[in-house]
Amino acid sequence: MTGRFSNPQAVPSDSAPLYEQVRHQIQMLVLGRPLSDMTPLPPESQLIESLGVSRGTLRRAIEDLVREGLLRTVQGSGTFVNPDERVRRVVWNRLREVARPDSRFDMNLQKFVPDFADRHLADATVQSLDAWINADVVFIAPDNSTEALRLHALADGKAVLVPTYGLTRGFVLLKGNLIKAVDRGLAATLDGMERFGKRLGPADLAEAGHVDVIVTGATAVTMNGQHIGGGQRYLALEINLMRDLDVVNDLVPVIAVVHDCQVIAETVQAKPECAVEIIVTPTRIIRCGTKTNIRKLTVKSNG
Amino acid sequence: MADISEEYREIIWEELLKVGRPDSRFHWDFSSFIADFEGSDQCVSRIVNLDSFTSRGAGRIFITPDNCLFSLRAYLLENDIPFVMTTYGIVRGFYEIDPRKVPASDRRFAATLDGFDMYATPVNIEQLAAGEKFAVAVTGGSAVSRNGVRFGKGHGYFDFEYALLTELDLISPDTVVVDVVHDCQYVDKELPAKEHDVVVDWVITPTRSISIENVDRSQTRIFWDRIPGTEFEGLGVTKELAKFLDSTKNSGLRSNKQKQQSRGKI
């Protein structure tokens, strides 16, 4: 269901229970701090006094934020902010201004990586990069912001490897030279790709050959190349699967296509899904310094 | 006792796992979408050859955003036939699409939910009400009975959409309601219709066109008292509709017949 849970930052109504109002106040406090600030929340007694609420209400509010992943409590040392989740929430807030709704999830940004205003300007930049031009096989994440690049790749006759949403049905391999011009637009969508591509599970993923470049959207990306996804860590899982099957090597370039508001200048102690080599936005291109080394920088996902 | 529709949904969803197609986002979660199925393209010619379709004149076509209607949408777009569709969950209301504004290369793209609103334009309640009546409404479903009682995915979106169009006086006695399902979704039994159920005139499957007789939709309306607490409460169209009906009632713009109907049914 969409609606009240689609935006964790929605202001609770006046008739909402007190703990929801307190949850909102604490969230605002946390999101208002610099993204690099890792100091714990003030002690419980101090919050009780400053917010003017009971211990029970405060605990209920904090428990909710812990369950949502924004906070974590460490026995004996206090309540801390989860830096990845804080980045996500700050960026989702900004993205609401420029994002395009999803065909199913509307503006529930926890569920998908949205397309955004002026994205075509970023696409043009990606298409001018050697890493893109020289690639025969491209991995393109199933993000709405990368749909048009899937179309361009197919038009260029490239092979495109796309995971299904949530990896529920493995990967789909689309071969640009086998898809008719009239079908390309359809084949580039999540709705249409399975009509044209071959579905590949872990057993036959090697059929994709060797991926020359990874193109992905992101919830956020830091200037030094940390890819922060939606929280389910699908990209990390996909890259690990491909690496285990030798579909990608450790030096494959990763290009992240994002809106300028998704680029984080601060140093964040995040748990990135992978390292990004080049960030492309509608207005600029950021080379993140070090060469991608997936082995070093990809955090192994659980399970 | 369990809801009879729940019982049928479960049995049919089991069958649908064999012939259905998963959704791009919801995978096999049939409670979140109406599935496409093997042979759905064969339903298209059956629909567009119905007398009520070919003789629709200026009457508009309403289509629900169900996956099994992709081929129908593609046909309409490729043949320059405009239609009106809601967005998923009616969250962004109604849209209309003029195929002549869609490049030939993108018509099949525009037939998907992912591509539709790249070319379709939103129509608010006032604009919707100002247009022609609907000659045809096409929807999918989870199951449909011999007497035309259909079950959706369990939210009641289509019943709500049809009731909304009825409140706007956009439905005539000639409007025909078509339900597109796989053969395994047809229940050859008489099932009781609930008050809010929109009973259909035609059941179209890949192999059959079944005409339902003695369909009565004269009592269709929005049940305002049942909206609070449901997902319809927060929808933009719900608020817009309430406002619109209020203003037209006061200004006397609505037909007398309609006013009588509204008054008579509380």
End-to-end CA distance of chain A: 28
Mean pLDDT by 10 residues, chain B (266 residues): 70 93 96 96 98 96 98 98 97 97 95 96 98 98 95 91 97 95 96 93 98 94 94 95 90 51 41
Distance CA A165, CA A193 (A): 11
The mean pLDDT of A240-267, rounded to a whole number, is 94
Contacts of A3 in chain B (CB under 8 A): 231, 234
* pLDDT reported for residue B208: 97
B262 within domain boundaries: no
User: Helix, strand or coil for residue A260?
Assistant: helix
Burial call B193-226: b when 16+ CB within 10 Å, e when fewer: beebbbbbbbbbbbeeebebeebebeebbbeeee
Q: Could you tell me the pLDDT band of residue A7, with boundaries at 50, 70 and 90? A: confident
Tell me the average pLDDT of chain A.
92
**Of A5-14, A225-234, B174-183, the least confident:** A5-14
B235 within domain boundaries: no
Q: Is A15 on the interface with B (CB under 8 A)?
A: no
* pLDDT reported for residue B262: 47
B256 within domain boundaries: no
What is the extent of the structural domain holding B67? 4-224
B21 within domain boundaries: yes
B32 within domain boundaries: yes
Q: Is A168 on the interface with B (CB under 8 A)?
A: yes
Q: What is the ipTM of this complex?
A: 0.89
Q: Could you tell me the pLDDT band of residue A301, with boundaries at 50, 70 and 90? A: very low
User: Helix, strand or coil for residue B198?
Assistant: coil
A197, A247 Cβ separation under 8 angstroms:
no
The mean pLDDT of A176-192, rounded to a whole number, is 96
CATH number of the domain enclosing B169: 3.40.50.10420
B206 within domain boundaries: yes
Helices (H), A225-287: 234-244
Helices (H), B66-221: 70-78, 107-110, 113-119, 125-130, 157-167
The mean pLDDT of A60-64, rounded to a whole number, is 96
The mean pLDDT of A11-15, rounded to a whole number, is 88
B249 within domain boundaries: no
Q: What percent of chain A has pLDDT over 90?
A: 86
**In a mutagenesis test of the A interface, which of B109, B113, B118, B239 is the best target, namely the one with the most A β-carbons within 10 Å?**
B109
* pLDDT reported for residue A294: 53
Q: Is B221 on the interface with A (CB under 8 A)?
A: no
> Quick one: A45 exposed, middle or buried, by C-beta within 10 A (0-12, 13-18, 19+)?
exposed
pLDDT tens-digit readout, A128-156: 999 999 999 999 999 999 999 999 999 99
Domain count, chain B: 1
Q: Is A184 on the interface with B (CB under 8 A)?
A: yes
Partner-chain contact B104 A4, CB within 8 Å: no
Give the DSSP letter of residue A261.
G
* pLDDT reported for residue A290: 61
Q: Which helix (H) or strand (E) holds A125?
A: helix A119-127
Residue among B33, B109, B231 whose CB faces A189 most closely: B109
B55 within domain boundaries: yes
Distance CA A207, CA B243 (A): 58
Q: Which domains does chain A have, with CATH numbers?
A: 1-81 (1.10.10.10), 99-297 (3.40.50.10420)
Give the DSSP letter of residue A111.
S
Residue among A104, A182, A193 whose CB faces B26 most closely: A104
pLDDT tens-digit readout, A81-101: 999 999 999 999 999 999 999
Helices (H), chain B: 4-19, 42-48, 51-54, 70-78, 107-110, 113-119, 125-130, 157-167, 236-251, 256-264
* pLDDT reported for residue A297: 47
Q: Which helix (H) or strand (E) holds A57?
A: helix A55-67
Partner-chain contact A165 B92, CB within 8 Å: no
Tokens of A40: 């714990």
